[in-house]
Structure 1
Amino acid sequence: MTTHLSTQQANINSNPSLILASSSAYRRELLSRLQLPFASMSPGIDETPLAAETPPATALRLARQKAEAIATQLNQHEPTLIIGSDQVATLDDLQIGKPGNHDNALKQLQLMRGREVVFHTALCLLDTRTNATNPLQIRDIETVVRFRDLSDAELDAYLRIEQPYDCAGSAKNEALGITILSSIKSDDPSALTGLPLIALTDMLRNAGVSFYK
């Protein structure tokens, strides 16, 4: 289990503790934008898709399981909000996950070039407080991405520079990966990077979190 503490100064007096169920540096950076103190913990779950499971269902299940895995490790008497998130990409009916290595990433990009890919970013907020009015909030945010029709040599060169082998779809849109994309359509711009902050703000407000005290 890995735990990271944010360096944000608390602007709040009565908000519950906040935990990000992820070891992702990308998600930690995104969450820090809300200027709320938080800790991050690695949930350590099996992320293998289930047979006959749709991509949105996979993302939603894993986001919830990540939050629940952290909840089992906590002191039950401490009021805590736990954020779980997961992302799955789809091209037509094909589910596209994290490539893991260069060869798989190149195959993914060759398949997706010149085409639209839908990224499903699932978000879960688990409220462990005994008096929680809405103990589980969960949503799927869709982002439609069109990839540029690049040559094999360009795709190979991009991968060797960025090495996005831990990213679904083999591209880091927050870095050099933006150069291999031609358009992004989403109601929640940070969803593609892995944590939809507009949806998360809605959930946190529903849970009574104050951002401006």
Structure 2
Amino acid sequence: MSISNKASIQTFSNPPLILGSTSVYRRELLERLRIPFEVVSPQVDETPQTGESSLDLTLRLAQAKAAAVAKQYPNAWVIGSDQVADLCGAAIGKPGNFERALAQLQLMRGQTVTFHTALCLMKEDTFTTISVPTEVSFRKLSDEVLENYLHAEEPYDCAGSAKSEGLGISLLESIQSDDPTALIGLPLIALTGLLRDAGFAIPQKK
């Protein structure tokens, strides 16, 4: 269910829908809604701008990802999304490797981190962009425990270095959010409302 370059979109009973993301986590979340969609890489520079807050960064990137794909497919609705973890005003991104992941977890232990998960639904010049915050409190755990977790799950492509939907839940003390899927990468409660407003039938009639 993926396409790598510009191509014709299939005709569905719902309007054509594209997920502008290569994230396997977002694709798996969107599949829960059981509506047909395509996947297109948005190819957007994610470098933060000078003085940009974590919230502003994630909102800008979600919209930029949707816009990059919407330009190629003007007849489709496009979902753009981005997530940035914020600890005391400092953005925490994807670690990429064990060493950076361990440093992130050491920094966050005993702390409460805000995960900003932004969502943009766009078609041509019509779009809505929102962000769903999630407050995550990390337990005070030893380096040995953190290292064991990283070797077990290798969450190096996740902002904050922990998969709450997996073994990473053992590192957490609490999660507070209006949408439990936001922390995984795509706020489905908010997205479902936006899609219905755009004319999608969810659930679809068999």
Considering the TM-score relative to the shorter chain, is it more than 0.5? yes
CA drift of 1:95 comes to 1.0
| In 2, Cα distance between equivalents of 1:30 and 1:93 | 28
Alignment length (residue pairs): 197
Alpha-carbon deviations, 1:148-200, whole Å to 9, x = none? 11100110111111111111100111111111111110001100000000000
Alignment match, 2:167: 176
Ranges in structure 1 where 5+ consecutive residues have no aligned partner: 5-11
Q: Which amino acid aligns with 1:81?
A: W
4+ residue segments displaced more than 2 Å: none
Report the 3-state secondary structure (helix = DSSP H, G, I; strand = E; otherwise coil) of the residue aligned with 2:193.
Answer: helix
| In 1, Cα distance between equivalents of 2:113 and 2:79 | 25
Ranges in structure 2 where 5+ consecutive residues have no aligned partner: 5-11
1:106 aligned onto 2:97: no
Alignment match, 1:143: 134
Alpha-carbon deviations, 1:11-44, whole Å to 9, x = none? x72x210000011111111000001000111111
CA drift of 1:210 comes to 1.2
CA drift of 1:123 comes to 0.2
Alignment match, 2:112: 116
1:40 aligned onto 2:39: yes
TM-score by length of 2: 0.91
Q: Which amino acid aligns with 1:3?
A: I
| In 2, Cα distance between equivalents of 1:163 and 1:3 | 27
Identical aligned pairs, as a percentage? 56
1:3 aligned onto 2:3: yes
Q: Tell whether the 8 Å contact from 2:164 to 2:184 is kept in structure 1 after alignment.
A: yes
CA drift of 1:45 comes to 1.2
Report the 3-state secondary structure (helix = DSSP H, G, I; strand = E; otherwise coil) of the residue aligned with 1:3.
Answer: coil
Q: Which amino acid aligns with 1:34?
A: L
| In 1, Cα distance between equivalents of 2:167 and 2:15 | 37
Q: Which amino acid aligns with 2:112?
A: E
Alignment match, 2:152: 161
Alignment match, 1:209: 200
Report the 3-state secondary structure (helix = DSSP H, G, I; strand = E; otherwise coil) of the residue aligned with 1:193.
Answer: coil
Alignment match, 1:53: 52
Alpha-carbon deviations, 1:128-166, whole Å to 9, x = none? 3xxx8xx11110100000111110011011111111111
Alignment match, 2:7: none
Alpha-carbon deviations, 1:99-142, whole Å to 9, x = none? 111111111100101111000000000023xxx8xx11110100
CA drift of 1:3 comes to 2.1
Alignment match, 1:18: 17
| In 2, Cα distance between equivalents of 1:171 and 1:16 | 35
Report the 3-state secondary structure (helix = DSSP H, G, I; strand = E; otherwise coil) of the residue aligned with 1:149.
Answer: coil
| In 1, Cα distance between equivalents of 2:96 and 2:54 | 18
